[in-house]
Structure 1
Amino acid sequence: MRKLITPVIASLASAVIIAGCSSQPSTVSVDTTPKALPADIAEKPIELFVGQDLGAVGGLEDYDQGYVNYFGIPSGVTVYTSLKDLEGLEQKVNYGAGDNYANLYLESDAFKGVDIAMGLYLVDQLDDINAGTLDSNISKLANWISQSERTVYLRIGYEFEGSWNGYASDDYKEAYRRIVDGLNKLNVDNVEYVWQSSGYEEDREELLSYYPGDAYVDWVAYSYFNHDPKLAGQEMLRIARERGKPVMIAELTPRGYNLMLDDGKKTWDSWFKPFLNHLKENQDVIKIIAYINADWDVQPMWKGQGWGDTRLQSNLYIANKWRRTIKREEWLVTSTVAIPPIFLLPDDYDELKQARNKAAEDTVPQENQWQAEDATPTGNVRIYPDGAAAGGKGMAYMYQLGDSLTFKGVPQSNYFVIRYASERSGKIGLFVNGQRAYDIEFDSTGSWVGTYNKVEMRVDIPEGLM
């Protein structure tokens, strides 16, 4: 009779096998010789922007517990709107991700001269844009930007290649150019046009198939959440250098962490340090970073998706390190707070902390539990940081045939458990000694990171095999 042994592969994220194929995207020829940035930009230190809703930013009468109240006013703030409705500019709007109301910044003396990074949402609008139906809104947007009396960094159709947006490359390029042409025709001279990818799973040819042209792009940008710091925005950075464009990290946050409840030093070492190294290695082109300072888990749009709580002021250790980093790195900000207020912990802090600690204990490797990051990766698979993963890290980007993790010399087992996070449902194969022996079907956990589930199944794995 065989003894029951349960190997567990922990912290496996983005575990999706994609079947089928797609046609090759059209390409854009590129001179790969690096070009220098304009001198006035190249000589500047990094500018710090903060977002992405009024509560996260703070510094206003009805929003007084945000970033500004604890750290001071950054160089810029982020806002969002869509070309279809232009919501959140001249009126307050909330779609479940915090209040947006850009005019409040224009009306506030405290934010006088503070620049704006505007995410322009274009989902399900490309056909109308390209047909000219939204030309009047392009004119209204041009008027708002002109009257703002500050530089507006317009992120047109941000994260353009993300499957969640559904932008066809040719339609996207046509819409992007129409918006830029419309603003240029109206002589808007205080706008910078930003071409932003997701920073994930970058394919050079796919990215270039969305490129609207040098004359239409002032800044190249990407998002940075749980990215591998060595690979984050790698192709976007390459394209920026080839074309002499400065780079903006337009969305920046330690997704999956809870800064209020997590150990500050461990979090700083596992996420912030690698990110700062990423900046240092690319300081020749990265000139703006936009941090998202939000309690994601209380916002209906993001609740349950594992984004966490990324408010810098909620962790004393991280808050102090952040202040020192701003000073040491000489990031450009508008003002700083000399004596910051004390962050008040919620009444149920102890209970929340105990629950967080218990969840962390549950991820500690036990006997016969194997960590995914101890395996040999193949294909796109690589390490990623995640506060909810065992040891704060796991393996991600297992999304197509050939992506795999290989364990050698595993013990005999008749029971298998895998701990995973995935935004989608799907199926992966379990291979024994090089042969596919089992299909592991899994349901979506709602997020690529931060929210984990388990799949358990009976198996027959002889001792010492893979």
Structure 2
Amino acid sequence: MRRYLLALISFALITACSSSTPMPEQEFVATPITKPENIRLFVGQDLGAVGGLAQYDNGYVDYFGHPAGITIYTSLQSLEGLTEKVNYGAGDNHANLYLQDPGYNGVDIAIGLSLVDQLDKVNSGELDANIVKFAQWMAQSERKIYLRIGYEFEGAWNGYAPESYKKAFRRIVDGLRKEGVSNVEFVWQSSGYEEERDDLLQYYPGDNYVDWIAYSYFNHDPKEAGKEMLRLAREKGKPVMIAELTPRGANLMLDDGKELWDSWFVPFLQHLEDNQDVIGIIAYINALWDEQPMWKGQGWGDTRLQSNLYLSGKWRRTIKREGWETTSTLKQPPIFILPEDYEEQKAARDKMKPNLTGNESQLQAEDAIPRGNVRIYPDSAAVGGKGMAYMYQTGDGLKFENVTQSNYIAVRYATINTGKIGLAVNGSRAYDLTFEGTGSWVGTYDMIEQQVSIPDGADVEIIFESGDSALNIDYVMFDRR
């Protein structure tokens, strides 16, 4: 893909390293790779987008926690952005900042390695010394590296000739293996658009050189995205990475969250479900594209998940519901501060549409049918200034009638207790909702979030029974994909 490094070559310093004879291709028997049990979530693709660092503290990590991995970009020609900061108009990149920050311990790295205008230099051996340097950097990183060699290989914007590309891919892999690098896996990534099997196979380096098969996913048809790459992955027994993922053209800060969730995120989640047998990693690009010079005016938009309250909530619950692997999770994220000209920007965007139907139902506790001792309590920290309290004896509870079909529930609560309370569906206790104390009966809230199975039209009760613990409830959210 061109997004990060199209402008790279005209700026890069050429490393003057040469070899008189090319390295021979090595015989190598690949070890079969098993897809991770759960999808691993990666986030990129620049320091500001990722965040979680002293100098970069308004990115994804600052609102959601550390993902399983992050994405960065470099080229074999210059290895820029690894040991020092670089910016070619697409945000700052400096991989060592991640390695030096304790918060990123255990967070893996997916590297997009550009080979634009470098294939001849790779294949002649001119860049062999950089392969050695790259190997040394990988080894000292002490984490798993997923190396996307010549990513989006068939994209016309890259200009890769198939035979030269395959030869370069193999030379890089052989060179890294020769240096004994054991913490790298090699990724073969297409653009994911309108793929033709025969065209793709012209670029295939061989089973012994590819650990992961990958593609990009932007505004693709979810039934067609990566279709042939997925088929090849199944045939060859390789796991799949969606290496670049973002709703191109959306403006998450200004667009209607429900509409965008339904139109882009839900089809993408269905794409994952349809291909859950092979997809092991997804890498979301959480960037304010329109403010980066390289992408300004190209229609990439603003895909920062934290900038939309509805979408950020859905994303957090999706991570939990789907069981995606991350490194850490923020239970109490900060509030995203909107810019002073937000209303003007929003009016200019002119995309808000009233009365949209979402797939999430947030119900105030005070609107439920109270049981036993339960009654309203006032609290300025509760949504609407009140909630429901005195749920402490057998039979006390809240009943929500005719609930929409849901596979996830979120309950905002306050309590000094740690324990559980029952969730009954159509009169029978079906789940224990477990919770930890918030330190107070009012003012300080936390969320119970749990996967459930509630049929459409069901009556649902939060009910106190013997062995349960008391809590106050602000609201209940019934959610589905």
- Amino-acid identity (%): 72
> Does residue 334 of the first structure (1) align with residue 335 of the second (2)?
no
**Inter-CA distance 43–151: structure 2 relative to 1 (3 Å threshold):** closer
Checking the alignment, whether the CA contact within 8 Å between 1:78 and 1:119 is kept in structure 2 is yes
2:80 paired residue number: 87
Distance (Å, rounded) in 1 between the aligned partners of 2:140 and 2:31: 26
| Cα deviation 1:281-326 (Å, max 9, x = unaligned) | 0000000000000000000000000000000000000000000000
Task: State the 1:38 CA deviation.
Answer: 8.3
Task: State the 1:201 CA deviation.
Answer: 1.4
> Does residue 76 of the first structure (1) align with residue 73 of the second (2)?
no
Report which structure shows greater RCO (CA 8 Å, sep ≥6). 1
Residue from 21, 39, 51 that aligns with 1:46: 39
Task: State the 1:44 CA deviation.
Answer: 1.2
Task: State the 1:42 CA deviation.
Answer: 3.6
Taking the TM superposition and a 5 Å limit, the aligned residue runs for 1:130-141 are 130-141=123-134
2:164 paired residue number: 171
Question: Tell me, what secondary structure is at the counterpart of 1:93?
Answer: coil
2:10 paired residue number: none
Task: State the 1:41 CA deviation.
Answer: 2.6
2:300 paired residue number: 307
Task: State the 1:187 CA deviation.
Answer: 0.7
> Does residue 215 of the first structure (1) align with residue 202 of the second (2)?
no
Distance (Å, rounded) in 2 between the aligned partners of 1:41 and 1:99: 34
Task: State the 1:113 CA deviation.
Answer: 1.6
Distance (Å, rounded) in 1 between the aligned partners of 2:49 and 2:59: 5
Taking the TM superposition and a 5 Å limit, the aligned residue runs for 1:386-405 are none
Distance (Å, rounded) in 2 between the aligned partners of 1:104 and 1:112: 11
User: Which amino acid in structure 2 is aligned with residue 339 of structure 1?
Assistant: Q
1:225 paired residue number: 218
1:292 paired residue number: 285
Checking the alignment, whether the CA contact within 8 Å between 2:33 and 2:239 is kept in structure 1 is no
Distance (Å, rounded) in 1 between the aligned partners of 2:134 and 2:219: 33
Distance (Å, rounded) in 2 between the aligned partners of 1:190 and 1:260: 38
> Does residue 191 of the first structure (1) align with residue 184 of the second (2)?
yes
Distance (Å, rounded) in 2 between the aligned partners of 1:153 and 1:115: 8
Task: State the 1:170 CA deviation.
Answer: 0.2
1:388 paired residue number: none
**Inter-CA distance 244–357: structure 2 relative to 1 (3 Å threshold):** same
Distance (Å, rounded) in 2 between the aligned partners of 1:320 and 1:343: 12
Checking the alignment, whether the CA contact within 8 Å between 1:38 and 1:244 is kept in structure 2 is no
Question: Tell me, what secondary structure is at the counterpart of 1:196?
Answer: strand
Checking the alignment, whether the CA contact within 8 Å between 2:255 and 2:351 is kept in structure 1 is no
1:276 paired residue number: 269
Q: TM-score, normalised to structure 2's length?
A: 0.66
Task: State the 1:40 CA deviation.
Answer: 7.0
2:17 paired residue number: none
Distance (Å, rounded) in 2 between the aligned partners of 1:148 and 1:41: 23
Q: Which has the larger radius of gyration?
A: 2
> Does residue 248 of the first structure (1) align with residue 241 of the second (2)?
yes
| Cα deviation 1:229-283 (Å, max 9, x = unaligned) | 0000000000000000000000000001000000000000000000000000000
User: Which amino acid in structure 2 is aligned with residue 303 of structure 1?
Assistant: K
Distance (Å, rounded) in 2 between the aligned partners of 1:112 and 1:43: 19
**Inter-CA distance 343–99: structure 2 relative to 1 (3 Å threshold):** same
1:118 paired residue number: 111
2:340 paired residue number: 347
1:317 paired residue number: 310
Q: How many residues align?
A: 325
Distance (Å, rounded) in 2 between the aligned partners of 1:233 and 1:187: 32
Checking the alignment, whether the CA contact within 8 Å between 1:55 and 1:98 is kept in structure 2 is yes
Q: TM-score, normalised to structure 1's length?
A: 0.68
> Does residue 59 of the first structure (1) align with residue 84 of the second (2)?
no
Question: Tell me, what secondary structure is at the counterpart of 2:34?
Answer: helix
Checking the alignment, whether the CA contact within 8 Å between 1:72 and 1:335 is kept in structure 2 is yes
1:156 paired residue number: 149
Regions of 4+ moved over 4 Å: 37-40, 358-361
Unaligned runs of 5+ in 2: 1-29, 355-481
User: Which amino acid in structure 2 is aligned with residue 213 of structure 1?
Assistant: G
Question: Tell me, what secondary structure is at the counterpart of 1:172?
Answer: helix
User: Which amino acid in structure 1 is aligned with residue 298 of structure 2?
Assistant: Q
Distance (Å, rounded) in 2 between the aligned partners of 1:107 and 1:89: 12
